[in-house]
Structure 1
């Protein structure tokens, strides 16, 4: 027994330390890998809930055509803009969302920054455009283009597609706004070609064109003498 006691040693001996580690290894519920997996699942669920809430707010603002940003988005502001205010209102009325946003979310993973707002808006626009292109399919369509300047005095071109859907109804869908360097016919044509290539549209299916206000795309108008 003296030999056994010498082998076992004190409470902090190598033998007792190895025995404790072996018992911990047998209990996989408390293993490091299992703890990390559990935390990882919780983080994923919280992130998905937070992202879904931000996406819901984005979809609402886009559908209503409302601005996202505010003049003063600081924490002391009484009105931080539509996105942040609606996001806060949404979380206050949903316990599941409230537990994973704002002060309960990591500081570097709030999903409310202007860059995230733009990414969500672009994702929604990409999804909507994909639905429009799929709805057109292999059918014929016409093109309506209007050009104007935005508030920053940059030339831009709005593109609308007009087609007949599978139910036989005439549909008009806004496709995109394209910034152009100028409004010459060559520049507008190159922009339209690039837009068609981007969305997989074929010029062979184009059966009509309208350029409201863009006289340089209509050609020279010859006035007859009275």
Structure 2
């Protein structure tokens, strides 16, 4: 359950006590918008900002471990070159009848006279990652374009007031969902412009809900923090 200090900050942001609140985040990477749309929105960040230790570990891996791996691969390859030459010589001495036999076996293995090298058809890609409706010019798309511009952390606090929905964020890279008290409002929408949808009895760890806007756009979020807050939030939007 969110701490008293978190609820105190929520009351300060809203000007009243929230009906329900929950920390959440987008469960998949934000899709890449068209360049002109991204430019018009100020070319904000589309990915979370990592902790500085991640960059240190990346540098150590690149300058220490990668050269060691490459040297090891090179030494292994040099030590096995004579075996490659021997195998190549043995293959060159194979009789034509052996080659014909192996070719006929491969042909028989391919059903309906087709070659076995055919590739399976790839499933079509979903350019939106299933997180929003796909129209960058509508409310959900514009909110996504500003998602990491307001905070480098992916977590957002969605608060329900009697007459509106407020999305808030903390400016910090790392935060505790139970103790973050520096969040501020990112967007506020009256209830006649947004509807919150989500099933009440969702399995813990997989719960999601949608912000559906009156212009037809929608945004799906998940990773709901704090079970008591999440359960109360989902029950409230279904009440």
| Fold in common (TM above 0.5) | no
TM-score (norm 2): 0.23
TM-score (norm 1): 0.24
* Structure that is richer in helix per residue: 1
Q: Which has the higher contact order (CA 8 A, sep 6+)?
A: 2
